[in-house]
Amino acid sequence: MSRRDPALRRSQNPPMSAGRRRLLIAGGILLLVALGWSLVAVIRPAIQHTIIITTGADKGIYQGFADRYATILKRDGIKLEIRSSSGSIENYERLKNPDSAYEVGFIQSGTVSPSDTDGLQTIAAVAYEPIWVFYRGAAKMDRLSELQGKKVSIGVPGSGLLEVSRILLAHSGITASNTTLLQMDANAAYQGLKDGQLDAAFFIGRPDAEMQQTLLNSDLKLMSFAQADALVQKFPSLSKIVFPRASTSIVNDLPQADVTLLAAKALLVSKDTMHPALVYLLLEAAKTVHGGEDYFTPLGTFPNLNTNEFPVSEESTRFFKSGRPFLQRYLPFWLASFVERRLLILLPFMALLLGLLQALPRFAESRIKGRLVVWYREIKALEDEIWKSERPTRHQIAQWREEIEQIDAHASQIRMPQRYFQDVYALKQAIAVVRNRILHVAGTVKE
C-alpha cells in the first residue's frame, strides 16, 4: 500500500487477476468473431437468383408450363433454367438426389413411390394431365381389356405415362404376355397408328397441345373410359374427367359425344431445402399460369393442395390460407427478401443494442458514482477507527487529521458532470462530519 495514494489507506480494490484478464480477452475475441460472422451474412446475397427446373420432353406439356413460369419469374429478377428430361420418373430421380443441381420439377401423380427420406415437398398440384387412348378400326372400344392381343404403344422409359399405362392395363388383364406393348414416344406412336403399325396408343397432355390437336382432328378414334369410376377406385392418384362434346370443333361436332377420360395431376415438387421466398414466387407463377378456366375445371380450381404424394410445403399451406407474406405483397421481391433475411440477423442485434442503450446510462452513472464510493469507504473506515479508539493518542489524532484533509483535497479534485454536484457536496458533508468528530475527540484528550 505504501506506493499507492496515502489517502487510500484502508479500502482499495485489488489489481485485476490474470484469470479475469484472460476471461475478458476471450470474451472480446468471441464478440469480434460474432460480429465478423454477422457481417459476412449481411454482405452475401439474400438468396440465389437462378432456379434449375427439370421438366419433360422438348415441346411437351411440362416444358410449356416452365416456359410460362420463366417469363413471370423474370419480372422479379429470377432466372428459371429449364432442363428437359424423359418425364416424371427421371424428374423424380433427379430431385431426390441431394447432390444434384435440380431444385424443382414436375412429377405426375401415381408414377412414383416417395419415401420419407427423399427430402422432397409438394409446392402445388397445378393441372390435370388427361390420358388419351386413340385407336383405329371400325369397332368401338370403351374398355381397356378390349386391347388384348393388339399392338399398343404405352410411352417411353422414364415417363409417367409408361407407369400409368402399365398399371391401368394390368387392372384390365393386359400384360406383355398376351399383348404387344411397345415403348414409343408420341410422334412415333401417332405415325405408327397412321401407318397401321399400331392398333392403339396411350398419350398424355392438354387438349390444346399440338399433338393432341393433331390426334383429335384425325380420323383416329378416341376411347371413352366406360369403367372410369372403378379404375379411379383402384388407382386413387387418377381422377375422372369429361371432355365435352364438340370441344375440338363445334362446327364439325367433334367429338360427337362427351368423352370420359382419366387424368393424373401434374405436381410441382421441390427439394425441401428450397428458400421459402422462391417457393412463394413459384406459387404466384403457378397461380397465374394455372388459375384460369380449363376444359375440365372451372376458374380457380388449380393450383391446389389436393394431393398426398409428397409432404406439402409449409409455405404452400400459408399461401393458400393467407397469400404471400406481408413484405412480398408490398415491396419488390429483391427488397422483401433482403429485409426478411436481414431481419433474422438484425432483430437479435437490435435487441442487444436496445439492451445496451438502456444499460449504458446506468453503467456510466455507476462508474461516476464509483469515484465517490472509494472516498465514502475511506471516510467510513476512518470513522470506525475513531469510534473504536477509546483512548487515542495525540499521534493518532494528528494522523486522522492529516488523513481527513487528504480525503477532502482529493474529493475537491474529482471531476463530475454538473448533475452530480449534489453527490460531491454530500461527500463533503460526510467529510465535515468526520472532521468534527476528530475535533471532538481531540478536545477530550488530556495534556
| Alpha-carbon distances of 441 from 388, 391, 403, 436, rounded to whole Å | 12, 9, 15, 9
The stretch 97-102 carries a mean pLDDT of 95
| pLDDT for the residue 15 | 45
**40 pLDDT above the threshold of 60:** no
pLDDT tens for each residue of 136-173: 998 999 999 999 999 999 999 988 999 999 999 999 99
| pLDDT for the residue 441 | 82
| pLDDT for the residue 295 | 81
| pLDDT for the residue 50 | 93
Which among 403, 443, 409 has a CA at the least distance from the CA of 427?
409
What is this structure's pTM? 0.66
DSSP per residue over 65-121, as a string?
HHHHHHHHHHTTT-EEEEE--S-HHHHHHHHH-TTSS--EEEEETTS----TTS-EE
| pLDDT for the residue 268 | 98
Are 309 and 113 contacting, i.e. CB atoms less than 8 angstroms apart? no
Written as nine digits, the cell of 352 is 442487444
| pLDDT for the residue 351 | 72
In terms of pLDDT, which residue wins out, 290 or 424? 290
**107 pLDDT above the threshold of 80:** yes
The stretch 96-109 carries a mean pLDDT of 96
Q: What 8-state DSSP symbol labels residue 224?
A: -
Find which of 54-58, 178-182, 367-371 is predicted with most confidence, using mean pLDDT.
Answer: 178-182
Domains (ranges, CATH) in the chain? 18-37+344-444 (no CATH), 50-324 (3.40.190.10)
| pLDDT for the residue 379 | 85
Band of residue 349 on the pLDDT scale cut at 50, 70, 90: low
Window from 10-14, 100-104, 187-191 with minimum mean pLDDT: 10-14
Three-state SS at 317? helix
d(CA 239, CA 229): 9
Band of residue 36 on the pLDDT scale cut at 50, 70, 90: low
| pLDDT for the residue 404 | 86
What average pLDDT does the structure give for the chain? 85
| pLDDT for the residue 326 | 58
In terms of pLDDT, which residue wins out, 291 or 389? 291
**37 pLDDT above the threshold of 70:** no
**276 pLDDT above the threshold of 90:** no
In terms of pLDDT, which residue wins out, 268 or 2? 268
Other Cβ atoms less than 10 A from the Cβ of 381: the count is: 15
Residues above pLDDT 70, as percent of the chain? 82
pLDDT tens for each residue of 293-311: 888 888 999 999 999 899 9
d(CA 284, CA 76): 11
| pLDDT for the residue 59 | 82
**185 pLDDT above the threshold of 80:** yes
In terms of pLDDT, which residue wins out, 291 or 443? 291
Q: What 8-state DSSP symbol labels residue 163?
A: H
